[in-house]
């Protein structure tokens, strides 16, 4: 009992109760408040990036309210607005998405801009960002790109792919998405286009969704009822629809490649796909992976 004991758990709750009990028994106890999780966060480089108090907040700054927007909406919009201001100018944003608190720290770290202020209140998360000069290119030209193969023809997986793609582009990465087989349905126009087909192509046309919003869910599709429920919840929670996410990708100059071999096999014609789509094969995709260090297959 003459020794000092240090007690901790993951959150600090159980260790606090244990400390009280042991102290009553006469032991010299020190509890780690907040637990090991708080200690780990304190020493995590990604989480220690807070606002730069050495940079003054400027009176003249553009203000934007992104309340209600879900990931990656706030980051995508911030990326656009920062491009429209001069180096040294600031913007102020208000966001209600709880994930933004972590996202903005990671974004400024990747892009080199300055996080002047960051705080959270009952009204949401408020951040002030100052534009800085672009990062100097490294001598070894380290690959910094993201490539995604979208093989799945399921709505939820396609939405996830586009959210990742838009977020990566907003963080300054070059992004390429290669749509193959069932994933080609995501590139179809919002309004179905009638194209005359015959044979196997006609059979595929009857079975495949006419537009992206008609793509089935990977789980609990329930003959299309799950799709309707998912789109209703997404709209209610202000999550962008699949066509809207693809529109964002086009606006950000994300490269969208349709696999011509898959199009031929499944009888999908160019007239059915968006006008902004590029066409190519696996060689085109592999060429883009040379400049990427982040590759996903969905």
Measured between alpha carbons, how far is residue 211 from residues 15, 29, 149, 183, 208 in Å?
55, 64, 20, 12, 9
| 296 Cβ neighbours under 8 A, 6+ residues apart | 146, 147, 148, 149, 161, 164
Domains 62-130 and 145-297 in one fold: no
pTM of the model: 0.68
Give which of 2, 186, 3, 167 is closest to 75, Cα–Cα: 167
User: What's the angle, vertex CA 237, arms to CA 234 and CA 239, rounded to 5?
Assistant: 55
Q: How many CB atoms lie within 10 A of CB 241?
A: 17
Is residue 85 a contact partner of residue 129, using CB atoms and an 8 Å limit?
no
Homologous superfamily of domain range 62-130: TusA-like domain (3.30.110.40)
* Model pLDDT, residue 143: 66
Q: What residues does each domain of the chain span?
A: 4-42, 62-130, 145-297
CATH class as words, domain 145-297: alpha beta
Q: Which two tokens stand for residue 17?
A: 């109760």
For each of the chain's 298 residues, which pLDDT tens digit applies? Answer: 678 888 877 667 777 778 888 888 888 888 877 666 566 555 554 444 456 667 888 889 999 999 888 888 888 899 999 999 999 899 999 998 877 888 888 888 878 899 998 888 888 889 999 998 876 544 445 568 999 999 999 999 999 999 999 999 988 889 999 999 999 999 999 888 888 888 888 888 888 899 888 899 988 878 888 888 888 888 888 888 999 999 999 999 999 999 988 988 899 999 999 999 999 888 788 888 888 888 999 9
The values of phi and psi at residue 130, to 5°, are -110, 135
* Model pLDDT, residue 46: 45
| Catalytic machinery residues | 71
């Amino acid at each position: 009992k003459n020794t000092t004991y240090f007690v901790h758990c993951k959150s600090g709750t159980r260790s606090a109760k244990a400390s009280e009990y042991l102290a009553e028994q006469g032991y010299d106890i020190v509890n780690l408040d907040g637990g090991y999780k708080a200690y780990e966060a304190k020493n995590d480089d990604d989480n220690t990036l807070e606002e730069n108090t050495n940079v003054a907040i400027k009176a003249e700054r553009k203000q934007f309210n992104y309340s209600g927007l879900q990931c990656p909406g706030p980051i995508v919009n911030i990326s656009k607005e920062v491009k429209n201001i001069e180096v040294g100018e600031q913007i102020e944003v208000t966001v209600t998405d709880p994930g933004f608190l972590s996202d903005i720290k990671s974004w400024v770290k990747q892009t080199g801009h300055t996080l002047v202020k960051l705080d959270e209140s009952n009204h949401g998360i408020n951040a002030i960002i100052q534009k800085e000069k672009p990062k100097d290119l490294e001598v070894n030209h380290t690959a910094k790109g993201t490539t995604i193969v979208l093989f799945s023809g399921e709505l939820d997986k396609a939405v996830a792919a586009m959210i990742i793609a838009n977020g990566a582009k907003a963080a300054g990465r070059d992004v390429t998405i290669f749509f193959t087989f069932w994933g080609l349905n995501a590139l179809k126009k919002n309004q179905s286009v009638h194209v005359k087909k015959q044979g196997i192509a006609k059979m595929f046309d009857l079975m495949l969704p006419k537009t992206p919003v008609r793509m089935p869910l990977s789980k609990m599709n329930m003959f299309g009822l799950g799709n309707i429920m998912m789109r209703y919840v997404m709209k209610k929670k202000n999550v962008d629809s699949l066509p809207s996410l693809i529109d964002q990708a086009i606006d950000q100059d994300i490269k969208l490649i349709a696999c011509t071999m898959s199009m031929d096999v499944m009888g999908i014609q160019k007239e059915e796909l968006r006008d902004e789509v590029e066409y190519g094969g696996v060689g085109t995709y592999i060429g883009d992976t040379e400049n990427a260090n982040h590759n996903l297959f969905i």
